[in-house]
Chains A and B, each alone.
Chain A
């Protein structure tokens, strides 16, 4: 979300628990509505918390679409593999009086193909929508993975003090200032 040439100004603060984090985010959103101060808010947490995440806004992550189309591709590919293999070895097809493309037998491999491609496409979607893999931010606090909640706010340098005031009002344990 950053424009190439312009520098990003960030404040990264850690909080004790989700209630404080939720209050901070709400307050910042209100501030943003009134004065257009904040450009982006990110939430860092050791576990997910749907309430706070909702306040941050809509995240468009249609992972299910990937899964659906992946699964269908898998089914088609697996079935074609079986059918084509049988056709290519036609001379050995008379086996036990069975048909060339025995549907009962092919169902199994088709099923497995569906699942395999479904899983792989879900994984691909996960990587795409979570933005991973990426480098660790230098200002990332290790306390986030332990028991504190982190809020990262991106804003223009002139609004830094206002944002800092909001953060401190709700009891930020540590605030780091970053420019990149």
Chain B
């Protein structure tokens, strides 16, 4: 660790914006108006990232490993219902779907509390989880306000009958018991795309739309948009701008009541995913 390198590191770090010179800042925009709660994104995530299907018993025990999950909330229906509402039956428009995944917070509360530094923030703006280093203290899981960190409570892959191991994605590992894992914005696909860009001769720039996360690729209504927030022409940056959501604020200053918001941004965690609220028809 030469002195020159140390001083370089320090001066980089003390800049106002540590990520100033980085070409990428991965972000997402999910349109809840388009989301129908079908769960295709969840299935795609399972397939892409070698997630174990734990079964009904373990799911009921809270040991599920779905990095992306569809949260369904029942709201009270807005406006007066024109039909007789029975106590246990909910009219369809009361359901609200939220696909919840790791928000890749720039001020992630899960990062500084790991005792062995198994999680840190990459220059890309991703919250990384280093499976090899994790000893399983689960402090990061507690500190995540979204609870999108998943702990391998059992070794779910240990009894995989042949030839089912062929279903696994070879681009990433299968995690052992005792290790924390979470959504990585399909980092294996990003790496592949960056490698391809390097081969093509423009390593610093991957075109918008080349990298598609598994969930984005599968969504039938194209509710999920993923891309580079630093590229002003990318679809995701355009959406963020349209809904006047800025990354490094815990309270947005909007000129109009746009639909775009970030969940729990008041905790000052700077999440990188904007959700666009449903358009609701309160007249009907």
Contact = CB atoms under 8 A, between A and B. Distances in A.
A/B contact in complex, CB under 8 angstroms: yes
Given A98-B112, A100-B13, A93 B6 contact: no
B85 to A, nearest CB: 46
A96 B117 contact: no
Given A87-B6, A88-B1, A96 B109 contact: yes
A91 B12 CA distance: 12
Given A87-B1, A88-B1, A98-B112, A93 B10 contact: no
Contact of B108 (A95, A100, A105): A95
A94 interface: yes
Nearest to B143: A96
**9 tightest CB-CB pairs across the interface, nearest first?**
A95-B111, A92-B120, A97-B107, A94-B121, A96-B111, A96-B112, A95-B112, A92-B117, A90-B9
B98 to A, nearest CB: 24
Interface residues of A, number: 15
Interface of A: 87-100, 105
B258 interface: no
Given A87-B6, A88-B1, A100-B10, A94 B107 contact: no
Given A87-B6, A90-B9, A100-B10, A95 B120 contact: yes
16 contacts: A87-B6, A88-B1, A91-B120, A92-B117, A93-B120, A94-B111, A94-B121, A95-B112, A95-B117, A95-B120, A95-B121, A96-B108, A97-B107, A97-B121, A98-B112, A100-B9
B106 interface: yes
Interface of B: 1, 6, 9-10, 13, 18, 106-112, 117, 119-123, 270
Contacts of A93: 13, 120
Contact of A96 (B1, B107, B122): B107
A100 B10 CA distance: 8
Nearest to B268: A97
Contacts of A89: 117
A52 B17 CA distance: 71
Contacts of B109: 96
B91 to A, nearest CB: 42
Contacts of A95: 108, 111-112, 117, 119-121
Given A94-B13, A94-B120, A96-B108, 19 more contacts: A87-B1, A87-B6, A87-B9, A89-B117, A90-B6, A93-B13, A94-B121, A94-B122, A94-B123, A95-B121, A96-B107, A96-B109, A96-B111, A96-B121, A97-B106, A97-B107, A97-B121, A100-B9, A105-B112
Contacts of B119: 95
A58 B111 CA distance: 58
B247 to A, nearest CB: 12
Contacts of B110: 96
A16 to B, nearest CB: 61
Nearest to B105: A96
A30 to B, nearest CB: 67
Contacts of A96: 107-112, 121
A89 B118 CA distance: 11
Nearest to B10: A100
Contacts of B13: 93-94, 99-100
Nearest to A98: B112
A96 B111 CA distance: 5
Nearest to A91: B120
Contacts of A105: 112
Nearest to A89: B117
Contacts of B117: 89, 92, 95
Nearest to A86: B117
Contacts of B122: 94
Contacts of A97: 106-107, 121, 270
Contacts of B108: 95-96
Nearest to B117: A92
Contacts of A90: 6, 9
A98 B119 CA distance: 13
